[in-house]
Structures are given as C-alpha cells and as structure tokens.
Amino acid sequence: MAGPAGLRRAGRRSDGLHGRAAGPSQGPIFLGHPSIGYTTGFLGAIGILAALRARRITGRGQRVDVSILDGVLGQAPMNWWFTAKDESYLDTEEKGHFGHRRVLIDLFECGDGEYLMVHTGGNGAFKAAMDVLGVGEHFQTVTDKVEMAVPMNEDEFRIARHEVPKIWKTRPRDEWLDLLRARDVAVVPVLRPGEILEHEQVRHADLVMDMPDPEYGSLRQVAPVIKFSTAMPGLPVPAPSVGLHQKELPTLLALEPKTEVAGARLDHPLSGLRVLDLSQFMAAAYGAKYLADLGADVIKIEPPIGDTMRSLPDPFEACQRGKRAIVLDLTTEEGKSHFLRLVDTADVVVHNQRPGKAEKLGVDYESLRRHKPDLIYCYQPGWGADGPCAMEKSFAPLLSALTGLMYVASGTGNKPVRRARASEDYYGGFLGATGILMALEHRARTGEGQFVLAPQLHASLFAVSEHMTDGEHKPLDTARLDARQLGLSPTYRLFETADGWVCVAAVGESAQGRLRSGLQSVGASVNNLRSEEALGVSLEIYLATLDTPSATEWLDSHRIANEVARDTPFMPEFFWQEWAVESGHVFEHLEHADWGYIREVGSTVRLSETPGRKTGPGPTLGEHTAEVLDSVRA
C-alpha cells in the first residue's frame, strides 16, 4: 500500500505509511509515487543476486525474504534512528528545514511562476547561493571547517529561512538557473511528469527507448539504466500479452534441471568479497552498506578532512554502518601506494566523484584495470560520466524534482511540493548494489572485470518508469494522485471516518465486487454502485458514519485491504518493538564513540541459508587505518 512523505506514519499492520504535510487536505496525505514498490523490488533483486552467488559457492538454493515492510524501512534510515544523545541532522523544532544548519535544500517559486530546486551541499555552496541572491554580505565565509558543520547565527537564520523565499520571486527561473550554475551551486528546474524523457542529458545517455504499442502506436519510456562496459544487454521487448509464449512451454519443461556442484561453506552470501568505497555523501555509500550487511568487507576510504556527510549523523550512520574506515590522502605518493596495495586485494571499487577527479588522482577505471584486470569498477556520479550536464552537482532531492516527482506528490492540478521521497539517494544506492552484484556474477562465469555506470540520474529515471509519452511525445495519464491528495482512484485512497482516517485498497474486479456487496448489505442503492466512482462516493459516505475501529472491522469482514492512518509517527515506537529487534529489522548498538547508545533500521534483505549479518555502528574517522594497512603491507 502506498504512503506519504514527510513524517512517516505506519498503519496497524505496519505495511502502509501516511503523513500530514502541506497541501489542500487537512488530513493525512497519500503518497502519489509508488516508492515502496520500487524499493521492495530493488531489495528483492539484491537478495536474489546475493543468493545466486551463494548457490554458486555452496551448491544450495535458499529462500529470499523481502517484504513490503522492508520496502518501507529501506527508505527510512536517513531520517529515523535513536541515539542516547538525541542527535539528528533535522532540527527537532523545524523538521525538514535543517534548522540553523548552514544549508539550503528546498524548492522555490520564481518570478515566472515556475519552480526550481536548490541544494547547497558541498563546501562553499551555501555562501555562494547567498551571494547570488544578493544577501551574501550578511553571511560569514567558512574556510577552516565543513560549511554545514557551522551553525548560522540568528540574523543569518532569519534571512535564510524567512527572507530568501521572497527573493526567488524577483527573477524568472532560467535566470536563477544560469546564475547559480555559474557559481557551481547544485540546482535544477522542477519538471512535470514525462518532461524528463526529452532532457538533453537523458537523450545523450541513451536512457529512452520507443516501444511499439497497439493502442498508441509508440510509447516513449525509460530504457535500461545500468551501463556495463563488456556485458551490456540489448533493449527489452514490449511487455507480453497474456499467453504470448505459451507455445514455448513444452521446450521449457523439457530442459534439464539446473544444478550447482560446489559444496563450500559460506557464512554470509557475500563473504570473501572486498569493496573499496571512495564515495562521498549518500547514494553510492548506501549501496555499499547493503553489500556490508550481506557479508562483504567494505573499506571506506576518506581524505584527511573526512566525508562531508560526517556532519549529518543519521544519514552518515544510515550508509556507513558495518564498514571499516581508513584515511588516505590520494594526492600523495604514499597514499596512492597504500591504495594500490588495497586494490590488489579488492573485488570492487565504487565512487561518485565528479567526472575527471578520479583521472586526476590516478584511480580511474583505465588506470586500475591495468593494475587489476578483473576489477569491478562501479561509477555513480550525479549526472553521468559525460554529456552536457555531467559536470553539474547532484544531491537529493534535486533529481526527484527533475523527474517530476514534486508534481506527482502534490496531486492533480496543484503546485509542486517538497515532500516527495528523494529517489536519487536510496534508489542510487540500490542501483549501484544491483549493478555490482550483476557484474560480479558475470565475472564468476567469464573471468572478466568491467566498468559499471550507475549515476543518480539513471536511478531517478528508473524510479519513474511508469511515466511515458505517446507517439506525439505527450505525457500519458497513468495513476495520478487526486487534487485532494487522498489517493490514486475512487476505491484506492484515504477515507475519513467519524474520528480518524483509514486507507482502503479495493483494487481489481474481485475486491470491488466484495465492496459492492458489502455496501448493498448496509443499504446502498444497487443502481448507484455500477461504476468505481459511485463505489467510492458510497464508501466515503458510509465510512464517515463509523468510528475507525468499526470501519476497519467492517472492511476486514468483506476482505477489503485497509490500514489506519496514525496521528503520530510509528518509527520511534517501532525501534522499541521486541519482535523488530529479534527479527533483525532493528539493530541495537550499545555504544558509539560519538553518538552513544543507538537503535537504527536493521536488515531489510533476509536469506534463509546464508543470512546477512548484524553490522555497525558506523566507524569513526580513520578508525581502522592501522589494521587495514598493516594487513596489506609488502
């Protein structure tokens, strides 16, 4: 069941989320983007690929367990954890606005009525944005520390949070875009669904394909988004009609059963793999965290100043837990020498630096493949390895805005809203982990290493695969959130009860038939229940007469999927559920050098025979430098 953004609120069975946010509705908000479905699918793919690797080594199959709850939790760790010190990058009184932190992340209306999305992550970008806006003289220049780690004073806070939104309306969007890009500030236009398919960088990267369709003639849609240097698959064919391949069934049944003969023992599905993580911030690092959870030895390599994201404690923990951390200065010969010795022992290198930086340091794919030919090298920049936008910065949720999700989240006909899930962070991590595991499986069969390209833009585009255009390149109407932000259809939406809200998912003819019978049993007119719209109206009227427990009991009695929309976030309570800790959905860490006692989102991919491992907490800067380098000294 879909859920909202903003504050995450779980239903009584913990498999749906709804939350209150700005918009036309005064109640909970239905999430228009199927983020939980995409995340669950990604986690399933990661689990299957890990299980295939384990089967190749052990000769045994196993069950891969990924639930919709896991899909929810997979998009939760950046914003939800518990620490004894009550630390978070989100200000508790100004949730979502970063409080006094020296950072600007939001969408703003410009003078022409169009919107832009800006993100001042990276040292110096916040002050640069203030300069562009004409208020830079009121803000100090931070040179000796990470900019985000220095809180604003009260005057700076007032201008940044209350005056800046007004200034954007003094110029049209394109002028602001040019001015900000000239100062290397990350910014994008907020596009509508489908517009991204014509974007210059998307076309350059061959991320769009035209599929023949019997109704529309042609459907323009997202093409495969992971690029492989030596094992690139061909374009897919259109989705099959029912029974299209029925004639192939006898051939499939006649195939010999596939068996694996290896019989080695494996504690975890990725045991024995070593990953060198050179990434900064979240997306690439989040995927590497999943590899660590599944047993890989992931070594996080940081410059002496550390990862900029260390100033954001919960996002840092969300994607660094379970890794070993070392400090290397790759601009020096000594640091480079240590790194190359590590490469000799590694299976994977992953990073997300802007194009050209790895080449400058001598740690690009071509340099490292000469050193280790079977290396898997996963590159996850923001926009791509090359192309017209390759040098632009990318932070979540910029590409969510670019791919139309800010309009998807707002509801039909409404202004875009900030609360859409940040697809490029979580999805970027999932895409990288998936591409790495696919390349490792290819290497196991062929001996070939390769270059894997999985940028944030590609991940964000994949996560709007349901957005298509017709033969005239006009966006098609897919399931869209209604103007009241209550749901996707008359019988798949939030309904108000006498004392609260409940979400109903009466999807398909069978469920709607049961709903029709149930409404008839309480006196609804048969003639008024012939269409889904009429069903929705009758259900809205009837549920408004019941309190929430009675509404859910009535829906349950007619086998109609439903959830209660809570008034308070479930996630803090979830961390203290005994079953969640016992099942590994929650990890408990007794002590961390910086944050003390921690509870956080745990495993979201479970394998029955070669399970993942409890990892964490995240490492302190350089915590494992001595032990790692000592292990590879000549």
Give me the percent of the chain exceeding a pLDDT of 70: 94
Burial of residue 494 (number of CB atoms within 10 Å: 0-12, 13-18, 19+): buried
Over residues 571-580, the pLDDT tens digits come to: 889 999 999 9
pLDDT, tens only, 150-185: 899 999 999 999 999 999 999 999 999 999 999 999
- Could you give phi then psi for residue 475, rounded to 5 degrees? -60, 140
Nearest to 33 by CA among 479, 457, 494: 479
- Please tell me the distance from the alpha carbon of residue 154 to that of residue 518, in angstroms, as a whole number: 58
Per the structure, the count of domains in the chain is 1
Residue 91, pLDDT score: 57
Query: What is the pLDDT, as a whole number, of residue 121?
Result: 81
Tens-place pLDDT, residues 391-409: 998 888 899 999 999 999 9
CA atoms 547, 550, 553, 558: torsion sign: negative
Residue 492 located in a structural domain:
yes
What crossing angle do the helices spanning 423-446 and 283-293 adopt, rounded to 10°?
Answer: 50
Q: Tell if the pTM clears 0.95, that is, is over it.
A: no
Q: How far apart are CA 210 and CA 607, in angstroms?
A: 38
Structure tokens at 319: 């994607």
* 172-209 per-residue burial string, b: 16 or more CB within 10 A, e: under 16: ebeebbebbbeeebbbbbbbebbbbbebebbeebebbe
| Confidence at 421, pLDDT banded by 50, 70, 90 | low
pLDDT of residue 422: 61
pLDDT at residue 7 tops 70? no
Q: Which of 474, 397, 388 is nearest to 195 (CA)?
A: 474
Q: How confident is the model at residue 17 (pLDDT cuts 50, 70, 90)?
A: very low
Q: Is the peptide bond before 397 cis (omega within 30 degrees of 0)?
A: yes
Whether pLDDT at 468 is above 70? yes
- pLDDT at residue 308 in the model: 84
Q: Whole-number mean pLDDT of the chain?
A: 90
Residue 260, helix vs strand vs coil? coil
Q: Is residue 331 part of a domain?
A: no
At position 614, the amino acid (one-letter code) is: K
Q: Flag whether 551 is in a domain.
A: yes
DSSP secondary structure letters along 71-136: HHHTT-TTT-EEETT---SS-SSSTTTTTTSS--EEEEE-TTS-EEEEE--STTHHHHHHHHTT-G
Q: Is the pLDDT of residue 266 over 60?
A: yes
SS (H, E, C) 410-459: CCCCCCCCCCCCCHHHHHHHHHHHHHHHHHHHHHHHHCCCEEEECCHHHH
Task: Please tell me the predicted confidence (pLDDT) of residue 128.
Answer: 96
Short-list 275, 612, 288, 319, CA closest to 432: 288
Domain hosting 486: range is 478-564
Which whole number is the average pLDDT over 249-262? 86
- Helix (H) or strand (E) holding 348, with range, is strand 348-351
In a domain, 550, yes or no: yes
What is the rounded end-to-end Cα distance, in angstroms, of the chain?
55
Distance CA 268, CA 266 (A): 6
| Domain membership flag for residue 524 | yes
Report helix angle 125-132 to 173-182, nearest 10.
140
Q: Where is average pLDDT lowest: 16-25, 195-204, 422-431, 483-492?
A: 16-25
Q: Is residue 131 part of a domain?
A: no
Report which DSSP code applies to 229: S
From the centroid of its chain, how far is CA 11?
A: 21
Q: Are strands 227-228 and 274-277 parallel, antiparallel or unpaired?
A: unpaired
Q: How far is CA 533 from CA 30, 359, 493, 581, in A?
A: 18, 59, 12, 43
What was the pLDDT predicted at 420?
A: 67
Residues 583-630: tens digit of each pLDDT: 999 999 988 888 889 999 999 999 999 999 998 899 999 999 999 999
Q: How confident is the model at residue 16 (pLDDT cuts 50, 70, 90)?
A: very low
Contact yes or no for 398/384 (Cβ under 8 A):
no
Using DSSP's 3-state secondary structure scheme, residue 30 falls into coil
**Does 441 reside within a domain?**
no
Residue at token pair 């290198």? 349
The answer to whether 289 and 359 are in contact (CB under 8 A) is: no
Can you give 284-298 as a three-state secondary structure string? HHHHHHHHHHCCCEE
Domain of residue 513, CATH code: 3.30.1540
- Tens-digit pLDDT profile for residues 201-252: 999 999 999 999 888 889 999 999 999 999 888 889 998 989 999 999 999 9
Q: Among 298, 405, 306, 387, which Cα is nearest to 350's?
A: 298
Could you tell me which residues are beta bridge partners of residue 188? 117
Q: Is residue 311 part of a domain?
A: no
Give the pLDDT band (50/70/90) at residue 527: low
User: Given a cut of 70, is residue 8 above it in pLDDT?
Assistant: no
pLDDT category at 263 given cuts 50, 70, 90 is confident
Contact status, residue 425 vs residue 193, Cβ threshold 8 Å: no
Q: What is the pLDDT of residues 53-109, one digit of tens each?
A: 999 999 999 999 999 999 999 998 988 899 888 888 775 444 445 788 899 989 999
